Amino acid sequence: MSHVNEALLDIEFRAEAWRCLGLPADTPFPSLPGDILYGDLSAEIHNPTLKEIYLSDVEASSVASRFFIAAAGLLSRKVAYYSEADAAFFEDSSE
């Protein structure tokens, strides 16, 4: 995953990868933190169970959100937005 992540930072490589995958050429590639790259994202790639991609409604236009919206379209997944305030409320009430 590290090598793939590093390769996709190269503009020419990314353009060709996007073309091969069928992603729009202007789809940005976010800098993904290790906990996502080697945790949730890796698990979902190897054992897909989610039918939706969950994104924060606060950062809907961020580079990461734009990337995952494009990926969701490519994989025929729905994008579901969540409220960070609601998520924090539910987290606090479950303790």
Q: Which of 53, 44, 38 is nearest to 3 (CA)?
A: 38
Residue-wise pLDDT for 43-89, tens only, equals 666 666 667 888 888 887 888 889 889 988 888 888 988 887 877 77
In tens, the pLDDT along 1-35 reads 678 888 888 999 999 999 998 999 999 988 776 76
pLDDT at 68: 86
Which residue, among 22, 19, 31, 35, has the nearest Cα to 70 in the 3D structure?
A: 22
CA-derived radius of gyration, the chain: 15
